[in-house]
Amino acid sequence: MHAVVLVGGFGTRLRPLTFSTPKPLLPIANVRQLEHLIAALGTAGVTEVVLAIGFKPQPFLDAFPDGVCAGVALHYAVEPEPLDTAGAIAFAARHAGISDTFIVMNGDILCDVDLTALVAFHKAHDAEGTLHLTPVDDPSQYGVVEIDADGWVQRFVEKPQPGETSSNVVNAGTYVLEPAVLDRIPENQKMSIERVVFPAMVADSRLAAMATDDYWIDTGRPDTYLQANLDLIDGSRSRILSSVGVNAHVAASASITHSVIGDNCVVEDGCVVSDSVLLPGAHIGARVRLERSLVMGSVGDGASLVDCVVGLDGHVSPNASLVGVKVPDPSEVAN
């Protein structure tokens, strides 16, 4: 079976980290997000993953030079220009010659849904497409999906007002699709699958949906990206990964609590690091205090960072005291 993984977004909300690394290639507990995702697809019997790349293919080619990720063969489909979600799925599927039932996944989610069960649900319904749904605490921030007792989608309610719907399940970013869906998407045209194609399928009563309450997180924001990392080291999930990467140098006098230290990081004497993620190659000077922060670049001696994001080109001055700051400030960086 084929899967299309959407990796062509701009990752705006995770800037400045995504200035240097596309979101799906950022590590989650020292393993690239894409590897987590493709490993799950491989377990469900996917033998070829088509990466739908909207722009900048090189980082993906460099990351997997032999064209294999987590034991699964990769096929690269680079759009002439970013085609939005439906345009990207159709471009990728045509590029790879997909002619049978296939899975689609957003490249910025992590979840434990049983993909084999999702495909079985889709086939049992003889649906044209099947969505995976997940419950959320505050539906007012999302596009909520209403389904009937048989598992068919009835309607989408975008950012519902209180009382507008009794549903609290949202599109979780994984789909099973029949190739017939491609007939709804013109070639090389920008189109959203969520806003255009799925509503058309609902109108034809051809879109099913399966809700599960397994672990699920959209890693696209700094707070959720941080959370996804910590969930994999502290036992919140069924798997526990190592919190320290290879060739990391952590001074014996540094205190590290509930944090991920990436490959080739340096943490000098007397640092106090908690609930934070150091990305590969980060350099943390002596006596630095880091709390709930993401660091790719360098932090000078004696600095204090709370709720901060430091990109690859970010250099925090010695003794700086920053709260809720992005370094460099994405709004001041030319793309």
Nearest alpha carbon to residue 100 among 71, 73, 123: 123
Q: By CB neighbour count within 10 A (0-12 exposed, 13-18 middle, 19+ buried), where does 75 fall? A: middle
Quick one: 108 or 275, whose CB is closer to ligand GTP?
Answer: 108
Please report whether residue 82 would count as binding ligand GTP according to CB under 6 A.
Answer: yes
Which residues in the 44-63 window bind ligand GTP by CB under 6 A?
Answer: 52-54
Shortest CB 176 distance to ligand GTP, Å: 17
Quick one: 10 or 19, whose CB is closer to ligand GTP?
Answer: 10
Please report whether residue 250 would count as binding ligand GTP according to CB under 6 A.
Answer: no
Quick one: 14 or 273, whose CB is closer to ligand GTP?
Answer: 14
Quick one: 90 or 261, whose CB is closer to ligand GTP?
Answer: 90
Please report whether residue 10 would count as binding ligand GTP according to CB under 6 A.
Answer: yes
Shortest CB 81 distance to ligand GTP, Å: 8
Hey, how many other C-beta atoms are within 10 angstroms of the C-beta on 111?
A: 20
The whole-angstrom separation of Cα 78 and Cα 240 is 34
Nearest alpha carbon to residue 133 among 148, 144, 123: 144
Region near ligand GTP per CB under 6 A, out of 58-66, 77-85, 133-141, 259-267: 77-85
Quick one: 26 or 265, whose CB is closer to ligand GTP?
Answer: 26
- Give the containing element (helix H, strand E) for 289: strand 289-291
**Do 260 and 278 meet the contact criterion of CB atoms below 8 Å apart?**
yes
Measuring CA to CA, how many Å separate 286 from each of 17, 252, 295?
23, 12, 15
Region near ligand GTP per CB under 6 A, out of 81-89, 163-171, 205-213, 287-295: 81-89
Q: Which of 3, 9, 170, 217 binds ligand GTP (CB under 6 A)?
A: 9
Q: Which of 8, 42, 139, 280 binds ligand GTP (CB under 6 A)?
A: 8
- Both tokens of 158, joined, read 């975008």
Nearest alpha carbon to residue 160 among 144, 136, 173, 145: 144
Shortest CB 55 distance to ligand GTP, Å: 8
Please report whether residue 110 would count as binding ligand GTP according to CB under 6 A.
Answer: no
Shortest CB 96 distance to ligand GTP, Å: 13
Please report whether residue 311 would count as binding ligand GTP according to CB under 6 A.
Answer: no
Residue nearest to ligand GTP (CB): 9
Please report whether residue 7 would count as binding ligand GTP according to CB under 6 A.
Answer: yes
Query: Alpha helix locations (H) across the chain?
Result: 17-20, 33-43, 58-63, 84-95, 115-125, 198-203, 222-231
Give me the helix-helix angle, 33-43 and 115-125, nearest 10°: 50
The whole-angstrom separation of Cα 256 and Cα 242 is 13
**Do 148 and 176 meet the contact criterion of CB atoms below 8 Å apart?**
no
Quick one: 82 or 179, whose CB is closer to ligand GTP?
Answer: 82
Please report whether residue 84 would count as binding ligand GTP according to CB under 6 A.
Answer: yes
Shortest CB 11 distance to ligand GTP, Å: 5
The whole-angstrom separation of Cα 105 and Cα 35 is 13
Quick one: 195 or 237, whose CB is closer to ligand GTP?
Answer: 195
Please report whether residue 219 would count as binding ligand GTP according to CB under 6 A.
Answer: no
Which chain residues interact with ligand GTP by CB under 6 A? 6-13, 23, 52-54, 79, 82-85, 88, 106-108, 220
